[in-house]
C-alpha cells in the first residue's frame, strides 16, 4: 500500500467537511512552560464523536456506498472510537453497522455506539479476538468487513494532519499515537505530500509495544497481550502495510508507561482544561519524556480523542 497523495487527502477532505468543521490547533502557554518548548495541540477531541476516527469512517463508508452500492451492511471491531465512527457514518449513508467489542469493554463507549445506531456484539477477551471474529462473521452474514487499516481510512483520518500541517507548517517535531496505524500513516502522507521536513515521532504504550518492537526488528513482531489503559493503543498484532509506511516515515517510536500516560491526562486537564483519553494523552507523555531532546523547538501533539470514562477519570483526578 502506498501513502495517500495530496489529491487523495483533498478529495477526502471534501467528504469530511460535508459533515464536520476542521478541528482547531492551539498553542497552550502552560504546556509550553511544562515542556520547555512551543507546543501546538491538534484537538481531535473536538470532532462529533470526540475522536479523529470519525474522519476515516465518513470517507470509507461514503466511498464504499459509491463503489459497491449492493452492500447493505458493514461489520468491524473496536474498543470504542472506530466503532462510533462506523456507526455514525453508516447512518449517514444508509447502511447498517455491526460492531464487535471485547467482553468487559468500556460501558460508556458501548452506550455511545448503540446511541449512534450500532448493532453491538460482545466477543473475545481483547481487540484482536474481536477483530478476528468480526472478519469471520462477515462472510457468514454477507456483511462488508471493515478492516483495521486500509487506504480509505488513512486518507480520511489524514485530513486532520493536512489541516494541522497547513496551519502550522514549521513544526520541528510532531508526536502521534499509534494504534492500528491509520493516524500516523495519514500524518506521514500529509507531511510528504506538502514537502515538509517535520520529524514524526510515533508513540506506543509500554504494555502494547508491538509497533515499537516491529520498528526495531524491521518486521512484524506480535505480542501476547496489549493490556493498557489507553484503549486506542491496545494493539498486539501490527498491520504489515502500516508498518512499511511507518518504518520509512518516522524519526523514531517512543514507548510510554501507564503512569506517564495518566500523568499526561492530568496535565491536559490542568494546563488546557481538555479531557484526553489515554491514547490522546500519550503524545504529551512522550514529549515530556524527551523534554531535553526537543528543548526550544516547535512541537506538535495530536490529541487524538477525549473519550475517557468516569472510572479512569477518577484515577486521573486522584
CATH topology of domain 53-145: Rossmann fold (3.40.50)
Mean per-residue pLDDT for 194-221?
97
pLDDT digits (tens, 9 = 90+) for 234-283: 999 999 999 999 999 999 999 999 999 999 999 999 999 999 999 999 99
Q: What is the mean pLDDT of residues 171-196?
A: 98
Residue 1: what pLDDT?
75
pLDDT score at 186 = 98
Q: Give the per-residue pLDDT at 253.
A: 98
Written as nine digits, the cell of 188 is 506521514
Query: Which residues, 6+ apart, have CB-to-CB distance to 283 below 8 Å?
Result: 175, 176, 177, 203, 301, 302, 303, 304
CATH architecture of 6-52+151-317: 3-Layer(aba) Sandwich (3.40)
Q: What is the pLDDT of residue 179?
A: 96
Which pLDDT value is given to residue 80?
86
Q: What is the pLDDT of residue 99?
A: 97
What mean pLDDT is reported for the chain?
96
Residue % of the chain over a pLDDT of 90: 92
Cα distance between residue 105 and residue 125, in whole Å: 9
> How far is 15 from 64, CA to CA, in rounded Å?
13
Q: Hey, do 6-52+151-317 and 53-145 end up sharing a CATH topology, with the first three levels equal?
A: yes
Split at pLDDT 50, 70, 90, the class of 106 is confident
CB 232 within 8 A of CB 179: yes
Buried b / exposed e over 129-163, threshold 16 CB at 10 Å, is ebbebbbebbeeeebbebebbbbbbbbbbbbbbbb
Indicate if the pLDDT at residue 210 is higher than 90: yes
* Complete DSSP assignment for 258-303: HHHHHHHHHHHHHHH-----HHHHHHHHHHHHTTTTTTTSEEEEEE
How many C-alpha atoms does 107 have within 13 Å on its Cβ side?
A: 2
Measured between its terminal Cα atoms, the distance across the chain in Å is: 44
- Domain regions of the chain by residue span: 6-52+151-317, 53-145
Amino acid at each position: 500500500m502506498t501513502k495517500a497523495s495530496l489529491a487523495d487527502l483533498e478529495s477526502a477532505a471534501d467528504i469530511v467537511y460535508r459533515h464536520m468543521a476542521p478541528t482547531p490547533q492551539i498553542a497552550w502557554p502552560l504546556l509550553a512552560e511544562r515542556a520547555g518548548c512551543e507546543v501546538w495541540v491538534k484537538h481531535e477531541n473536538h470532532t462529533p464523536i470526540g475522536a479523529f476516527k470519525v474522519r476515516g469512517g465518513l470517507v470509507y463508508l461514503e466511498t464504499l456506498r459509491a463503489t459497491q452500492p449492493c452492500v447493505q451492511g458493514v461489520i468491524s471491531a473496536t474498543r470504542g472510537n472506530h466503532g462510533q465512527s462506523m456507526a455514525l457514518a453508516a447512518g449517514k449513508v444508509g447502511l447498517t453497522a455491526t460492531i464487535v467489542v471485547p467482553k468487559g469493554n468500556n460501558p460508556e463507549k458501548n452506550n455511545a455506539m448503540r446511541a449512534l445506531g450500532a448493532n453491538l456484539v460482545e466477543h473475545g477477551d481483547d481487540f484482536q479476538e474481536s477483530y478476528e471474529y468480526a472478519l469471520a462473521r462477515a462472510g457468514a452474514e454477507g456483511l462488508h468487513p471493515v478492516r483495521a487499516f486500509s487506504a480509505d481510512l488513512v486518507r480520511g483520518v489524514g485530513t486532520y494532519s493536512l489541516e494541522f500541517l497547513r496551519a502550522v507548517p514549521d513544526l520541528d517535531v510532531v508526536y502521534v499515537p499509534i494504534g492500528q496505524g491509520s493516524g500516523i500513516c495519514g500524518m506521514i502522507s500529509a507531511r510528504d505530500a506538502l514537502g515538509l521536513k517535520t520529524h514524526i515521532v510515533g508513540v506506543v504504550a509500554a504494555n502494547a509495544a508491538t509497533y515499537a518492537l516491529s520498528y526495531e526488528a524491521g518486521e512484524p513482531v506480535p505480542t501476547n497481550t496489549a493490556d493498557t489503559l489507553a484503549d486506542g493503543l491496545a494493539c498486539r498484532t501490527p498491520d504489515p502495510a502500516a508498518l512499511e509506511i511507518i518504518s520509512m516515515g518516522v524519526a523514531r517510536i517512543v514507548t510510554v508507561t501507564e503512569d506517564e500516560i495518566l500523568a499526561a491526562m492530568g496535565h491536559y486537564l490542568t494546563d488546557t482544561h481538555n479531557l484526553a483519553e489515554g491514547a490522546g494523552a500519550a503524545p504529551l507523555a512522550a514529549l515530556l519524556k524527551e523534554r531535553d531532546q526537543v528543548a526550544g523547538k516547535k512541537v506538535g501533539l495530536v490529541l487524538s480523542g477525549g473519550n475517557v470514562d468516569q472510572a479512569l477519570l477518577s484515577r486521573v483526578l486522584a
